[in-house]
């Protein structure tokens, strides 16, 4: 009899974040190695960066006082 703690729980199949096909256990959370590489390329090329608003030029007199 095998140890139940040594078995990995099966992951639910979810849509691939790149192409929306169902993910595969081998490439989870992606559907294929290609989609995993597309995602990695987006990270490397800073495609997932969050735009920053520079606040240095804003005048603090334009904002109401916090009470």
- Biggest alpha carbon–alpha carbon distance for the chain: 73
Cβ count within 10 A of residue 30? 22
Query: Hey, what are 34's tokens?
Result: 């290609």
Give the span between the Cα atoms of 33 and 57, in whole angstroms: 45
Residue-wise pLDDT for 6-62, tens only, equals 666 677 889 999 999 999 999 999 999 999 999 999 999 988 888 887 766 656 666
Residue 16: count other Cβ atoms within 10 Å of its Cβ. Answer: 21
- pTM of model > 0.95: no
């Amino acid at each position: 009899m095998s140890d139940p703690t040594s078995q990995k729980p099966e992951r639910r199949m979810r849509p691939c974040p790149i192409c929306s096909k169902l993910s595969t256990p081998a490439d989870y959370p992606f559907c294929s190695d290609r989609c995993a590489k597309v995602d990695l390329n987006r990270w490397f090329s800073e495609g997932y960066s969050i735009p920053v608003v520079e606040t240095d030029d804003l005048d603090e007199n334009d904002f109401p006082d916090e009470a």
